[in-house]
Amino acid sequence: MKTTAIIYGSTGDNTKNVAIKLAAKIKDAVLMDVASATISAIEKYDNLILGTSTWGIGDLQDDWDGFLPSLEKANLEGKTIALFGLGDSSSYSDTFADGIGILFETINNKGCTIIGMVSTEGYTFDASRADIGGHFVGLVLDEDNEYALTDIRIESWVNEILPALQ
């Protein structure tokens, strides 16, 4: 059986709360705060679900920012990876969910399979590093302005990625 870790960085607990919701839907997934993660711990899992928020004007969450150099060196060959990120589409419409765009840029071309892209339809924003040709590189949530859509978006996304995780 494949093993799955949900690794999140959370400053204001929104990303942590989403990670907890994901773990409740993905059987046997292990939750891990990136602030206490190690590369050796991450490398032992077959599947990784990486979650971050975006801070300021397109900045990666602080704990992820500190862990990024280690992630760049990690052996991700053969792993299945999904991304989720939180952003504020109203106050930061020009850098909406840039955090997962940064994670994507870090892991892309490292021999892993990235799953779980989501159409940008239904989202209101001006620009995002996470937007590639009309699709976000993972699940994007806006707990500040679109919190009523969070559970629906999580449910749909988990149903989409679950077969690839098994």
How is the chain split into domains, by residue range? 4-165
The size of the chain, in residues, is: 166
Q: Which residue is it, tokens 């960085």?
A: 9
Buried b (16+ CB within 10 A) or exposed e, 59-80: bbbbbbbebeeebeebebeebb
Q: Are strands 113-115 and 80-86 parallel, antiparallel or unpaired?
A: parallel
Query: Mean pLDDT score of the chain, rounded to an integer?
Result: 97
Give per-residue pLDDT as tens, 37-64: 999 999 999 999 999 999 989 999 999 9
Q: Which residue is it, tokens 């994007």?
A: 140
Measured CA to CA, the distance from residue 45 to residue 78 in angstroms comes to 11
pTM equals 0.97
CATH top-level class for 4-165? Answer: alpha beta
| Terminal Cα-to-Cα distance of the chain (whole angstroms) | 7
Cα torsion 145, 148, 149, 154: sign: positive
Residue 1 has pLDDT above 90, yes or no: no
- State the average pLDDT over residues 124-147: 97
At 79, the amino acid letter reads: K
